Amino acid sequence: MTVPQSTRHAIHPQDFKGYDTQKLREHFLIENLFQEDTIQLTYTLYDRLIIGGVHPVNGPVRLDTFPTLRSENFLDRREIGIINVSADSTVTVDGEEITVKNKEALYIGKGVKEVLFHPAPNGADTRFYFNSAPAHHTFPTKKVQLNEAETVELGSLETANARTIRKVLINSVVETCQLQMGITELKTGSVWNTMPAHTHDRRMEAYFYFELPEDQSVCHFMGEPQETRHLWVQNQQAIISPPWSIHSGAGTSNYTFIWGMAGENLDYNDMDKVATTELK
């Protein structure tokens, strides 16, 4: 199967300052992650992270390699983190069928030959979101249920950022080479995520916004702390965030998003915080 794939190149922060809205969207926004019976993926040159979506409808969809990887199989030199963002379904990993429920995560390590994404058995809408990063070591496949995640409650309704953070694929929960992923859910009445903001030069990040009502939007803020820009993001769209950029957002409704990171440091708390009053 031919895998629809695009490449996004790394951008220097000095060049970023001169981008208009259209150019920002072309370089950092991923709009169409889900197409029936295909895998849609974006290969970024930020830590070689791949951002993808799978929407099986009529049968299983195979995770195929593509020319840029120069590998026989997708995971010959990579690891992958998968999160189910729809109905409960299954993923087959080298012949082993694994049930992945809504918002559960599945880590698959380097060296696996075949990954198949299956539509839900009852015909319900089925969508998987994934991030993939280069791997230097093989760690075993592991499913992470929500009750196994490292869960933190942050923020408050007074500051419109009351949220639940579930760290599903981090080194305190599952061994990975460099990939980390988690799910943040905004509570009703809260709209801000990742505020106060931060950067982390040791790793890049990607955000996938979902569970956002179709008539609502999220305004995503990015850029160096002293030179910020914004992009309006719709339901089931993703943002690429360079290591030098803040990554924050405010919605016209509450929503959920998946954050994924790749880079040289697995310490989740390794970040350079920016006071809200210092942003420009």
Annotated binding site for Zn(2+): 198, 200, 205, 247
Two structure tokens written together for 189: 């009445």
Binding-site residue numbers are 198, 200, 205, 247
Measured CA to CA, the distance from residue 220 to residue 85 in angstroms comes to 20
Please give the backbone phi and psi of residue 105, each rounded to the nearest 5 degrees, phi first.
-115, 150
72's CB contacts (< 8 A; 6+ apart) are 65
User: Can you name the residues that pair with 90 across neighbouring β-strands?
Assistant: 99
Measured CA to CA, the distance from residue 171 to residue 45 in angstroms comes to 24
108 touches 93 (CB < 8 A)? yes
126 touches 92 (CB < 8 A)? no
What pairing do the DSSP bridges indicate for beta strands 218-224 and 163-169? unpaired
60 touches 118 (CB < 8 A)? yes
